[in-house]
Amino acid sequence: MSITILFMQMVKLFLIMCIGYTLYKINIIDDHTKAHVTKIILYVTTPALIVHSFIDNMSGEERKILIELFATAMALYIILPVIAVIIALILRIKKCERGMYIFMTVFANVGFMGFPVTEALFGSVGVFYAAVFNCVFNLFLYTLGVMLMYYGTDENNSFKDIINGKRILNPGVICCFVSVIIFAFNMPVPKVLDEVLASVGSLTSPLAMMLVGASLAVMNVKELFGGVRIYLFTALKQIGIPLLLWPLIRLFIQNDMLASVTLLMASMPVANTAVLFATEYKKDEKLAARGIFITTVVSLITIPFVVYICL
């Protein structure tokens, strides 16, 4: 059942990417449209999705494990950047591309692919666990992710300049804090407001994947599939990292479901936000699109393989 759900999710991903690809080719989407839709996703639909995921999933008996969930997710996103830097050094990534490779290593598709996979394996409780990881993902995305977009771009930029308040204090981070406050104080949210957040947030994945397809439309076949380094990176990310982390996960996490969900989160392909950030911050959009495309294709095999080996 889980493999079937995963396969169907892959089909959805590729169909939506194909729509974006076609729309760019027939000039319904152009570079101007891409830039504005990117801002809508980053600053409107994604923050709405964050708040809704807290309201919808963080209630009932699962509140008891919330602290352990957050601690585990935080630990994962602290360890992954260290591993990402090591991978960048092993692969001898050029400095101008290093930030994007680290970004693609750290930020996996824990939302659009993570939710259905965990639901297939663990039901609604698995979705709740994934929602917590998604919240921490977004917190790091709008802080560390922004910093990585400036990595290696300007030798004169100091660390203080890169992490200035204007860049970090953005809608994504603000909504993470609002969500935590709503949950911590058990604040009631009007149903109509939650429904609006759900509707707006649901636009995130399809819009983002269409933008990925539009980004792929400007690349030829040689650009999309050429180069050995992206395949070495994919092997390390999709197989090496999950298998490396699994002994540590079992050593420190006693809860079987939490351990399994953590493994799944580490096994997901590159997040579609890589293209969004590359577009927004004028980074290598083609590299980001290739990373998403190739890791997503390969994940159809690697995720079941990792699950089979470890679980």
The pLDDT, as a whole number, for residue 115 is 77
80-85-91-92 Cα dihedral, nearest 10 degrees:
170
Task: State yes or no: pLDDT of 104 exceeds 90.
Answer: yes
Q: In which band, very low, low, confident or very high, does the pLDDT at 166 lie, cut at 50, 70 and 90?
A: low
d(CA 5, CA 100): 30
d(CA 224, CA 202): 29
Greater pLDDT, 1 or 246:
246
Cα 97 to its chain centre, rounded Å, is 19
238 and 244 in contact (C-beta within 8 Å)?
Answer: no
- Cβ neighbours for 80, distance < 8 A, ≥ 6 positions apart: 105, 106, 241, 266
Kindly state the average pLDDT of the residues 278-291.
86
| C-alpha closest to that of 71 among 117, 133, 130, 128 | 133
Give the bridge partners for 108, in sequence order.
270
Which CATH number fits the domain that encloses residue 24?
1.20.1530.20
Kindly state the average pLDDT of the residues 156-167.
56
The pLDDT, as a whole number, for residue 1 is 47
- What is the tens place of the pLDDT at every residue in 38-91? 888 888 887 888 788 778 766 655 667 778 888 999 999 999 999 999 999 999
Q: CA-based Rg of the chain, rounded to a whole angstrom?
A: 19
* Range of the structural domain that residue 162 is part of: 2-310
Kindly state the average pLDDT of the residues 27-48.
87
The pLDDT, as a whole number, for residue 29 is 92
Size (the chain), residues: 311
Tokens at 23, concatenated: 């729309």
The pLDDT, as a whole number, for residue 153 is 64
Task: State yes or no: pLDDT of 111 exceeds 70.
Answer: yes
The pLDDT, as a whole number, for residue 307 is 86
Q: In which band, very low, low, confident or very high, does the pLDDT at 236 lie, cut at 50, 70 and 90?
A: very high
Mean pLDDT, the chain, integer: 83
Total tally of structural domains belonging to the chain:
1
Q: How far is CA 190 from CA 51, 81, 166, 194, 245, in A?
A: 13, 38, 31, 6, 41
- What is the tens place of the pLDDT at every residue in 179-220? 778 877 778 889 999 899 989 988 888 888 888 788 778 777
d(CA 60, CA 109): 27
Task: State yes or no: pLDDT of 122 exceeds 90.
Answer: no
